């Protein structure tokens, strides 16, 4: 890899391209029209060109289709379970679902999304060349990158193919490439390449082109000062945007368990933003050249989120089989999160203050976990066979009493 990373001013007169590995695309939730991948359109210069390999394209499609197939399998199992429980046949519904050709249509949709994204960057897909095998096996047998740092060397064949394709493309086009990958094998390969750079994230790529100078400093300082202005609507607007982000994100629960003879079913009911703090060290802005009327500001916030979780308790029915729901309680859990988002700013940035600018916030949906923890369940017999069920969490302040159904009068 050439020494260091290229500066933005050195790229204006150079022939270069950028390329994405599978992992940064997956980390962006395979979303090309929103989030980090989408904002690259505004962060990179208009002459930026995207090149991906056929291997990466097919791997992205495969991983997306795996998610589709998993969801389809859950739907099929749910239909079978419903048929058994209701003792009816749902064949007409199954036939209608099969006519949708879900996997085939999903593949076409995913392929179109990749094609549109490539076209936005004057991009192309590098096909697999016939002479690729010789180069790959040479690296494999001599334990060269990306094989040298991997315990499972055979798993590195797709990476090796992609890297050789990108190296050959850079050589034949007399250009150099900036590759985005968190894979150690990619970094090791680029370290010995005369034409390839490697950065670990899409944000690291974008940061190479962040604006500097007086105008950029003015925009950042005015935004930062406005967040500390109690009379400004911007702090409330930011908090509202973060709350919307929490509501639109995917949430999972982890660590819910009990040593008692009971089963727990946990459902997240709601999320509430308790606190947020802006990381001042991560404020970066992108302002198009020769245009002082628009800017894109990246922000990073530390959040404290209060989640309301519903806990249902089930015990085995030793007489009729199956399980019986015996209690329910809503509990709260506090979670620390880090979110990244963008602030779109429009207006005469050079000669007016932030009060006259149009400000909007964007946060792409995320995927977060709420730690429930180990819970103990105690049963206390009362009249008529009713019970109180108590959860006692490892944290002493979390203690709950649950009624057994039906509710006592």
Report which of residues 399 and 122 the model is more confident about.
122
Contact 276, 303 (CB under 8 A): yes
Distance, CA of 281 to CA of 214 (rounded, Å)? 18
Q: Is the peptide bond before 79 cis (omega within 30 degrees of 0)?
A: no
Q: What is the pLDDT of residue 137?
A: 53
Residue 115 pLDDT level (bands cut at 50, 70, 90): very high
Pairing of strands 263-278, 257-258: unpaired
pLDDT digits (tens, 9 = 90+) for 303-325: 999 999 998 888 877 776 677 77
Residue 276, Cα to own-chain centre: how many angstroms?
20
The structure's pTM equals 0.77
Q: Which two tokens stand for residue 393?
A: 């969490």
pLDDT category of residue 359 using cuts at 50, 70 and 90: very high
- What's the rounded Cα separation, in Å, for the pair 328 and 404? 8
**Tokens linked to 220:** 């950042």
Per-residue confidence band for 194, with pLDDT thresholds at 50, 70 and 90? very high
CA distances 157 to 27, 145, 278, Å, are: 22, 11, 42
CA–CA dist 361, 228 (Å, integer): 17
Both tokens assigned to 83:
């048929």
19: left (phi over 0), alpha (psi -120 to 50) or beta: beta
pLDDT of residue 383: 37
Q: What is the pLDDT of residue 35?
A: 87
Q: What is the pLDDT of residue 392?
A: 35
Q: Are 16 and 177 in contact (CB under 8 A)?
A: yes
pLDDT on residue 326:
78
Expressed in angstroms, the distance from the first to the final Cα of the chain is 75
- Order of strands across the sheet that contains 387-393: 257-258, 374-381, 387-393, 399-403
CA distance 18 to 176: 9
3-state secondary structure labels for all residues of the chain: CCCCCCCHHHHCCCCEEEEECHHHHHHCCCCCCCHHHHHHHHHCCCCCCEEEEHHHHHHHHHHHHHHHHHHHHHHHHHHHHHHHHHCCCCHHHHHHHHHCCHHHHHHHHHHHHHHHHHHHCCCEEECCCCCHHHHHHHHHHCCCCCCCCCCCHHHHHHHHHHHHHHHHHHHHCCCEEEEECCCHHHHHHHHCCCCEEEECCHHHHHHCCCCCCHHHHHHHHHHHHHHCCCCCCHHHHHHHHHHHHHHHCEEEEECCEECCCCEEEEEEEEEEEEEEEECHHHCEEECCCCCCCEEEEEEEEEEEEEEEEEEEEEEECCCCCCEEEEEEEEEEEEEEEEEEEEEEEECCCCCCCHHHCEEEEECCCCEEEEECCEEEEEEEECHHHCEEEEEEECCCCCEEEEECCCCCC
Quote the tokens at residue 64. 């997306």
Does the structure show a pLDDT above 70 at 179? yes
What is the arithmetic mean of pLDDT over 137-156?
58
Name residues whose C-beta falls within 8 Å of residue 242's C-beta, 6 or more positions apart in sequence: 273, 276, 301, 303, 339, 341, 361, 363
Q: What is the pLDDT of residue 1?
A: 54
CB contact at 8 A, 303 and 317: no
Q: Say if residue 146 is preceded by a cis peptide, omega within 30 of 0.
A: yes
Percent of the chain residues past pLDDT 90, beyond the cut: 59
Closest-CA residue to 362 (of 96, 32, 39, 100):
39
Q: What is the pLDDT of residues 373-409, one digit of tens each?
A: 887 776 554 433 343 443 333 333 333 333 333 333 3
Q: Per residue in 219-276, pLDDT tens?
A: 999 999 998 888 899 999 999 999 999 999 999 999 887 766 778 888 999 999 999 9
The pLDDT confidence band at residue 18, using thresholds 50, 70 and 90, is very high
Q: What is the percentage of the chain residues whose pLDDT exceeds 70?
A: 82
Residue 317: per-residue pLDDT: 73
More confident call, 140 vs 132: 132
Q: How many CB atoms lie within 10 A of CB 398?
A: 14
Residue 8 banded pLDDT, cuts 50, 70, 90: low
Q: Which range has the worst mean pLDDT, 327-331, 335-339, 343-347, 404-408? A: 404-408
Cβ 49 vs Cβ 23: under 8 Å: no
Give the model's pLDDT for residue 388.
Answer: 41
Tell me the mean pLDDT in the region 277-281. Answer: 87
pLDDT at 182 over 90: yes
Distances (CA, A) of 166 to 48, 162, 359: 16, 6, 40
At 285, is the pLDDT very low, low, confident or very high (cuts 50, 70, 90)? Answer: very high
**Which residue, among 54, 52, 200, has the nearest Cα to 119 in the 3D structure?**
52
């Amino acid at each position: 890899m050439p020494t260091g990373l290229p500066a933005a001013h050195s790229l204006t007169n150079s022939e270069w391209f950028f390329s994405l590995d599978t992992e940064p695309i997956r980390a962006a939730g395979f979303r090309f029209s929103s989030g980090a991948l989408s904002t690259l359109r505004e962060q990179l210069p208009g002459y930026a060109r995207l090149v991906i390999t056929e291997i990466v394209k097919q791997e992205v499609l495969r991983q997306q289709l795996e998610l589709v197939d998993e969801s389809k399998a859950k739907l099929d199992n749910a239909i079978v379970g419903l048929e058994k429980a209701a003792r009816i046949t749902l064949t007409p519904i199954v036939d209608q679902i099969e006519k949708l050709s879900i996997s085939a249509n999903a593949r076409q949709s995913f392929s179109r999304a990749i094609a549109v994204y490539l076209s936005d960057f004057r991009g192309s897909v590098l096909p697999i060349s016939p002479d690729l095998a010789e180069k790959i096996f040479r690296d494999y047998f001599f334990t060269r990158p990306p094989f040298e740092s991997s315990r499972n060397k055979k798993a590195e064949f797709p990476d090796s193919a992609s890297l050789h394709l990108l190296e050959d493309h850079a050589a034949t086009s007399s250009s150099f490439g900036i590759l985005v990958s968190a894979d150690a094998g990619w970094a090791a390969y680029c370290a010995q390449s005369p034409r390839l750079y490697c950065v670990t994230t899409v944000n690291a790529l974008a940061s190479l082109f962040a604006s500097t100078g007086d105008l950029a400093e003015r925009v950042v300082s005015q935004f930062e000062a406005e967040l500390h202005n109690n009379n400004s609507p911007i702090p409330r607007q930011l908090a509202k945007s973060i709350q919307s982000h929490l509501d639109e994100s995917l949430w999972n629960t982890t660590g819910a368990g009990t040593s008692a003879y009971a089963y727990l079913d946990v459902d997240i009911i709601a999320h509430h933003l308790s606190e947020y703090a802006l990381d001042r060290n991560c404020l970066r802005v992108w302002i198009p050249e020769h245009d002082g009327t628009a800017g894109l500001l990246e922000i990073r916030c530390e959040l404290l989120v209060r989640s309301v979780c519903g806990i249902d308790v089930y015990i085995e029915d030793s007489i009729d089989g199956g399980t019986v729901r015996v209690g329910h309680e809503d509990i709260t859990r506090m979670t620390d999160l880090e979110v990244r988002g963008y602030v779109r700013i429009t207006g005469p940035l050079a000669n007016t203050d932030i009060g006259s600018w149009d400000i909007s916030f964007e946060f792409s949906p995320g995927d977060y976990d709420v730690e429930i923890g180990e819970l103990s369940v105690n049963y206390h017999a009362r009249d008529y066979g009713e019970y109180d069920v108590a959860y006692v969490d490892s944290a002493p302040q979390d203690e709950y009493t649950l009624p057994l159904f039906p509710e006592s009068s």
